[in-house]
Chains A and B, each alone.
Chain A
């Protein structure tokens, strides 16, 4: 029950399974156990889920405390609904390998792009670092 109807509050989400996306791109799934006024979250039985293409792998992480400012979005998972119909779960090693390959490929394309731009005398700063400045 929301104590203050008409507002958004995380109180109702406690003890429910959630999926949270963090600013660094990680996806965590766990039971939300505790919150505070900054929306810092305490997750229980957390699992970090890595998605690569159509495959995903789960890494069990235990208890996670997430600082509120790092949350991009947070949503409740309906445990009754059938999940993972399109996605194929694989082992951790496999998914990490897949991820590595994906990162590698991305880096290479990025490299090529930068080189091409450089040849033309242009340089575009990387957007993902701008956040820090």
Chain B
């Protein structure tokens, strides 16, 4: 409907279209949109012929051209580079659907890459040459071309057909809209091509002085600017880079920046010319032309020589990259071995060098490979290279067409391939390789003795940082409300698919049986995925909690926050025992500070349970250490005893020690005197502290009571039976006295004392 309105007055199609509309009751709207006004057979063929003639006249320049500006003034198809506002009304009057698309595109404020920003596409090249000129061929839709034809051929005469060939881009738009080409078998077009010849680029181009083949750019793709098609680029994605490469890269490859774990050399933005040529690189440059072998005279043209040099030189930035990376790059020297041609992969030159220069072809970008793997591969390479190197090299050196693909271009392709290898989560993307090498490493560790620790190499995979792309829906300027444009990033439901299940009784019964089985399988699958999740998480968690020292400080800081304490309490049971022990140690060490911060005792006490679990799993030496930590510096114990948690902790430690002693005859607790000394000091402290200031613990471990019942005569005088502290004193003295006298009291005594104490409390 829209297209009908925007057609030109002098277009005769309108009437025909209307006639059609009248004939059919149901308008096929999609057909209209797709084919527009031009979807009528006869006219199409006529216009096609006219277009062909047009092309012939202008030498392929006019319609598609980068050429002169004459057309622009007349037709004003809304050149891309121009300001949009003035053209909007005019283009709305003229053009067909193509203009509409363009104007719409101009309204788009934010870029959704899936929605074509036709007017907004980069067009650096043509604009200076043709200020009001028509957009390049890619912009012209079929309808626009028709429009041109309808307009007549008057402006065409102004086309300067010669200008095309002198284009700075150095190529002529040989490509036409695909629809036209297919019918042009023996049309005047072909004759032109035969006449004029293809643009003066290769094969002649190769002999041009100092011209790098990588500058050639294929002609822009012609595609109709329909909303939803990918944006047309000035330089299509597949083109190899010009120099400097970084510029082209920025436009073309959208990818998150690599965050490398090890310091590999950045292969992405090498300077076109190395900042410093190390003596090695100079050597190699000097060597290779010499070693290249006897060339048929005149074959190695100047351009090729330049190419060679360029490729060699360009190759070396790998070895001497930007300064911050150099130490990292230097660190890779040991891998390279002898004289390193780090990256300079020249297909021609290296083999003729033969074995002497055939260095271990390890590239620094093998960081993501396990070192063992690397070694295996180099061995393989060397075996193969030794056999084939000489003969292949000779032949290649005599091949005048070799190295058509420059070093840069090879690197370009490799770069793209390597970018595809980058992953945000190697354990996800490359699970089997990682696991395989983990097993290998473990095996290595087992086989090696501890003296040769340096040889155990680890596989470190560089990981790319995950970049979160937040999708923002496209907004249009001057619209009321938000219009939704369905695109790849924002798909819209097009088909209403409704699931209907039939309820047939018999069918149901059968289904139930089947469903049960299904359910079981489903449960199995769900559990399996849960299990895998847990395993993955565990793995990640273990990796992150490796750094000990940092963790300790962090632990204390985390503990000073209330939520942090809760977190630690929940985390502690999940940690592996060495880490858990370390955490508990840290707690003990910093208890005074923590206690101070935690005036309300409630929160610290959350830690009692997990801590007790940890303590029970501690070894005797660890336990002793812990007790020592708890005592810490002067006066620490006093503060500890003031704190509920501290007292509880102390009790736990003591009870654990007691338990250890009584249960395990081989207990090493008493081997060195540390434990007993510590206990003595603890008890001394306990006694010196007035009982009122002792805070009640959360619970008293039962075996302390048993200690208590082992009272000796010494304890009578110190019995305070009213408070728990009395029990404590009793127990301590019972303990100390027991060790002094080494007596075992009869059972009766024990129970009596126990009961008496109980009753008094």
Mark A residues whose CB is within 8 Å of B: 1, 3-7, 9, 11, 14-15, 31, 33-38, 40, 42, 44, 79-80
Given contacts A15-B347, A37-B417, contact A3 B363 (CB under 8 A): yes
B418's nearest neighbour on chain A, judged by CB, is: A4
The residues of A that contact B374 with a CB separation of less than 8 Å are 5
For B361, list chain A residues within 8 Å (CB): 1
In-complex Cβ contact of B377 among A6, A9, A79, A80 (8 A): A6
Indicate if the CB atoms of A36 and B413 lie closer than 8 Å: yes
Q: List 12 A-B contacts (CB under 8 A).
A: A1-B363, A3-B411, A4-B418, A4-B421, A5-B374, A5-B378, A6-B373, A14-B347, A33-B405, A35-B413, A37-B238, A80-B391
Q: Which residues of chain B are near A38, meaning CB under 8 Å?
A: 238
Q: Measured between C-beta atoms, what is the minimum distance from B240 to chain A in Å?
A: 8
Q: Looking at the complex, which one of A1, A33, A80 makes contact with B381 (CB distance below 8 Å)?
A: A1
Known: A1-B361, A33-B405, A38-B238. A15 touches B399 (CB 8 A): yes
Residues on B facing A (Cβ under 8 Å)? 238, 240, 343, 345, 347-348, 350, 361-363, 365-366, 369, 373-374, 377-378, 381, 391, 395-396, 399, 401-405, 409-411, 413-414, 416-418, 421
Residues of B within 8 A of A34 (CB): 404-405, 409
Closest residue of B by beta carbon distance from A6: B369
Complex Cα distance, B410 from A33, in Å, reads 11
CA–CA, A34 to B347, complex, Å? 12
Q: Return B205 CB to nearest CB of chain A, in Å.
A: 14
- Which residue of the partner chain, among B350, B373, B402, B410, contacts A11 with CB atoms under 8 Å? B410
B368 CB to nearest chain A CB (Å): 9
Contact check: which of A5, A33, A44, A79 meets B366 at CB < 8 Å? A5
Give min CB distance, B420 to chain A, whole Å. 8
Inter-chain contact B366/A15, CB cutoff 8 Å: no
Q: Which residue from B350, B377, B395, B417 sits with its C-beta under 8 Å from A5?
A: B377
B238 in contact with A36 (CB, 8 Å): yes
The 9 A-B pairs of least Cβ separation, nearest first, read A5-B377, A37-B416, A1-B361, A3-B414, A34-B405, A15-B402, A33-B404, A36-B238, A1-B345
CB-nearest residue of chain A to B416: A37
Chain B residue, CB-CB nearest to A37: B416
Q: How far is the CB of B418 from chain A (nearest CB, A)?
A: 6
Give Cα distance in the complex from A31 to B402, angstroms: 10
**Residue in A9, A33, A79 whose CB lies within 8 Å of B401:** A33
A3 touches B405 (CB 8 A): no
| Closest Cβ–Cβ distance, residue B561 to chain A (whole Å) | 47
State in angstroms the CA–CA spacing of A14 and B347 once bound together. Answer: 8
- Which residue on B lies nearest to A40, using beta carbons? B238
- Chain A residues whose CB sits within 8 angstroms of the CB of B373 once the complex forms: 5-6
Question: Please, which residues of chain A bring their CB within 8 A of the CB of B362?
Answer: 5
What CA separation (Å) do A14 and B378 show in the bound complex?
Answer: 20
Would you give the shortest CB distance from A9 to chain B, in whole angstroms?
Answer: 6
B369 surroundings in chain A (CB, below 8 A): 5-6
- Report the bound CA distance from A42 to B401 in whole Å: 12
Least CB distance from B268 to A in Å reads: 14
The chain A residue sitting closest to B366, CB to CB, is A5
Q: Which residues of A contact B366 (CB under 8 A)?
A: 4-6
A14: chain B residues within 8 A (beta carbon): 347, 405, 410
Q: Residue on B with the closest CB to A35?
A: B413
Inter-subunit contact B417/A4 (CB<8 Å): yes
A42 to B409, CA, bound (A): 14
Q: Whole-angstrom distance between the alpha carbons of A35 and B410 in the complex?
A: 8
Q: Are A35 and B381 in contact (CB under 8 A)?
A: no
CA distance A38 to B373 in the complex (A): 27
**Closest residue to B343 on the A side, CB-wise?**
A3
CA distance A38 to B366 in the complex (A): 23
CB-based nearest A residue for B345: A1
Max chain A CB contacts within 10 Å: which of B345, B362, B374?
B345
Tell me the smallest distance from the CB of A61 to a CB of chain B, in Å: 16
Query: Quick one: closest B residue to A1, CB to CB?
Result: B361
A41 to B414, CA, bound (A): 15
* Inter-subunit contact B414/A11 (CB<8 Å): yes
Q: How far is the CA of A11 from the CA of B410 in the complex (A)?
A: 7
A11-B418 CB under 8 A given contacts A33-B405, A34-B409, A44-B401: no
